[in-house]
Amino acid sequence: MNAPTNVQVINGPDGKPAFVVIPYGEYVASHANEIGLVPHDVVTRTVDGATPARAWREHLGLTQAEVARRLGISQSAYAQQESSDKLRKASRGKIAAALGVAAEQLDF
């Protein structure tokens, strides 16, 4: 069963359940695949100077070689793409698929 184990129910003035509180980590995990949602860690990495592709790769704990292998290209070719500030739409889509995220999540 995937039900949260640390749930708090808050009742309203009428005594009926009005709100449910779950741990933040469970909330993020349950919404991780929604288009447009970008984890705080990824945003922080981009603020610190990483491109979105690099920020996502590092957030997911992948190496450039692993992503390049998924793309069927060399590590150096991927490194060039990853360092680009403006990826072509086709390249962004392929990298997003290799990372397991939506292409829109690489475009911010």
From first to last of its 108 residues, the chain has per-residue pLDDT tens of 455 468 899 999 999 999 989 887 777 677 666 656 788 999 999 999 999 999 999 999 999 999 999 999 999 999 999 999 889 999 999 999 999 998 989 988
pTM for the model stands at 0.69
Residue 12 DSSP SS3? coil
Which pLDDT score is estimated for 57? 96
- Is residue 95 within 8 Å of residue 106, measured between CB atoms? yes
d(CA 42, CA 57): 9
Q: Which domains does the chain have, with CATH numbers?
A: 1-31 (no CATH), 40-106 (1.10.260.40)
Q: How far is CA 95 from CA 3, 14, 43, 87, 90, in A?
A: 33, 51, 18, 10, 9
Which pLDDT score is estimated for 22? 87
- Is residue 26 within 8 Å of residue 13, measured between CB atoms? no
Which pLDDT score is estimated for 33? 62
Amino acid letter, 19: F
d(CA 74, CA 76): 5
Alpha-helix runs per DSSP H in the chain:
24-31, 40-47, 52-59, 64-71, 75-83, 89-99
